[in-house]
Amino acid sequence: MDRRIVVTRSVPESALDVLRTAGEVRVCGQDRPLEVAELHEAVRGADAIVSMLHDRVDDAVADAAGPGLRIVANVAVGYDNVDVAALSRRGIAVTNTPGVLVDATADLAFGLLLSVTRRLGEGERLLRARQPWSFHLGFMLGTGLQGKTLGIVGLGEIGQAVARRARAFGMRIAYTGRRRAAAEVETELDARYLAQDDLLRESDVVSLHCPLTEQTRHLIGERALGLMKPSAVLVNTSRGPVVDERALATALHEGRIAGAALDVFEREPAVEPALLELDNVALAPHLGSATIETRTAMAELAARNVAAVLGGNAPVTPVAG
């Protein structure tokens, strides 16, 4: 079997087992994202590429791979790192890994929300610094979620999963997006559809679950932050550039919103330095899908896509070009 499959960073062995049924597998051994030149060199002669969210896969990568490239399987739900249109023009299939990380990401989003509203990170930092403390009724007061409005930007599968968790905490649900959700989804979640500006004005928590596109880049910037309540909290587990981090840091520092919880960043792995100085921010290093079960399922789904296409079948989870 002379088909060549290039995996740009390590994946679980169970996914490699699937890939080996479809061709010769080469896993790039570095423990970091590949530089552009390294990526181009690594994919030469590839029939399939299993890419990560930090790999920019475009015409130049396709040129480097050569005419045999048939599929790019991105191990992520988002595919803003892949030039889908360019690859589709060449007849190269692009796939992603939807569905399998819904619950893990929703859990993480809600965990971050609790961390910032109940000041959990701040409290842990106090203890680890061995600062003196004693219980009293005014000590490290946070805010509850019951009766508050959760405004979801993008009521897809992950947004819906977050809404279900929020309802269990007694929150009201509002949402906005390019289109309204199905009537049965609105009914199940008792969710109100609002225009984006109205959602920003009304919500006590704004949680972002939209893809990164030219339309959503810096969706939350100075103007949007100015519409939010001074008591509101922003949660982002979608893509970092959806938020203008400098504008967010300024708004938090000036008290124009109350807090933020971020799992993704505008220039990963870098974080806006001003955010690191603020106690009203909960931060995580892109852990939304970071459970053993979820990351394994993502890699296995990407591998099944490769095996399907190289075997002459339709991909399992194609991205439309």
* Residue from 269, 273, 298, 299 nearest 54 by CA: 269
What number of other Cβ atoms are within 10 A of residue 183's Cβ?
8
Rounded CA-CA distance 6/61 in Å is 12
- Helix or strand (DSSP H, E) at 161: helix 157-168
Of the residues 239, 245, 295, 300, which is catalytic?
Answer: 239
Say whether pLDDT at 18 is over 70.
yes
Provide the β-strand partners of residue 51.
74
- Provide the mean pLDDT of the chain: 97
The verdict on whether 24 is a catalytic residue reads: no
Of the residues 38, 186, 222, 268, which is catalytic?
Answer: 268
First CA to last CA across the chain, in angstroms?
A: 29
The reported pTM is: 0.94
C-beta of residue 200 within 8 angstroms of C-beta of residue 176: no
C-beta of residue 49 within 8 angstroms of C-beta of residue 57: yes
Cβ-count burial 61-82 (b if 16+ within 10 Å, e if not): bbebbeeebbbbbbbbbbbbbb
Say whether pLDDT at 296 is over 80.
yes
Rounded CA-CA distance 82/85 in Å is 9
Q: What is the pLDDT of residue 1?
A: 58
Structure tokens that stand for 254 in this block = 């000036």
Rounded CA-CA distance 84/15 in Å is 23
The verdict on whether 201 is a catalytic residue reads: no
* Mean pLDDT, residues 151-179: 97
What number of other Cβ atoms are within 10 A of residue 246's Cβ?
15
Calculate helix-pair angle for 292-310, 102-117, nearest 10 degrees: 150
Residues 206/210/213/219 CA torsion (nearest 10 deg): -10
E strands, 171-289, are: 172-176, 191-193, 205-208, 233-236, 259-262, 281-283
Q: What is the pLDDT of residue 66?
A: 97
Rounded CA-CA distance 314/306 in Å is 10
* Mean pLDDT, residues 173-191: 97
Confidence of residue 182 (pLDDT cuts 50, 70, 90): very high
Confidence of residue 76 (pLDDT cuts 50, 70, 90): very high
Digit-coded pLDDT (tens) for 206-261: 999 999 999 999 999 999 999 999 999 999 999 999 999 999 999 999 999 999 99
* Mean pLDDT, residues 272-291: 97
Q: What is the pLDDT of residue 267?
A: 96
Rounded CA-CA distance 91/74 in Å is 16
The number of CA neighbours under 13 Å toward the Cβ of 139 is 9
Provide the β-strand partners of residue 193.
175
The verdict on whether 239 is a catalytic residue reads: yes
Structure tokens that stand for 95 in this block = 């796939």
Digit-coded pLDDT (tens) for 77-120: 999 999 999 999 999 999 999 999 999 999 999 999 999 999 99
Domains belonging to the chain, first-starting first, are 4-99+292-310 (3.40.50.720), 102-283 (3.40.50.720)
Of the residues 286, 295, 300, 304, which is catalytic?
Answer: 286
Rounded percentage of the chain residues whose pLDDT exceeds 70 = 100
